[in-house]
């Protein structure tokens, strides 16, 4: 969250939105989040997840995906690298 504006940062500008592209078509781009508080799988018990963490129990070999306009409290500005993908 931007402290000055109290607006959530968007995935398209976040340094953690760097996972493989899941979907790319005329309406949307979906990618996974690589933030350490985005937990995926059955190995972590819900009692061990903090109040600001995400736990997805994925048994199909993938985690969770977000679109470029999704916002998050763990947003961190990109380090000058453009992670965005141009839509065709």
User: Which domain range does residue 23 map to?
Assistant: 9-72
pLDDT in tens, 40-71: 777 777 888 889 988 887 666 566 788 888 88
How far apart are the C-alpha atoms of 48 and 82, rounded to whole Å? 34
Quick check: 18 and 34 in contact, CB under 8 A?
yes
In-domain check, residue 56: yes
In-domain check, residue 64: yes
- Cα–Cα–Cα angle for 1, 50, 80, rounded to 5 degrees: 35
Q: Is the alpha carbon torsion for 46, 76, 20, 23 positive or negative?
A: positive
In-domain check, residue 18: yes
In-domain check, residue 13: yes
In-domain check, residue 87: no
In-domain check, residue 81: no
pLDDT in tens, 1-53: 445 556 788 888 899 988 777 777 656 788 888 888 888 777 777 888 889 98
Please state the domain count of the chain: 1
In-domain check, residue 53: yes
pLDDT score of 80: 65
In-domain check, residue 49: yes
Q: Is the alpha carbon torsion for 70, 71, 72, 77 positive or negative?
A: positive
């Amino acid at each position: 969250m931007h402290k000055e504006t109290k607006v959530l940062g968007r995935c398209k500008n976040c340094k953690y939105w760097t996972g493989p592209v899941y979907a790319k078509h005329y309406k949307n781009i979906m990618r996974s989040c690589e933030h350490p508080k985005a937990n995926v799988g059955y190995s972590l018990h819900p009692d061990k997840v903090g109040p600001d963490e995400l736990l997805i129990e994925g048994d199909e070999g993938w985690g969770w995906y977000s679109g470029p306009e999704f916002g998050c409290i763990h947003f961190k500005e990109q380090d000058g690298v453009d992670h965005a993908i141009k839509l065709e």
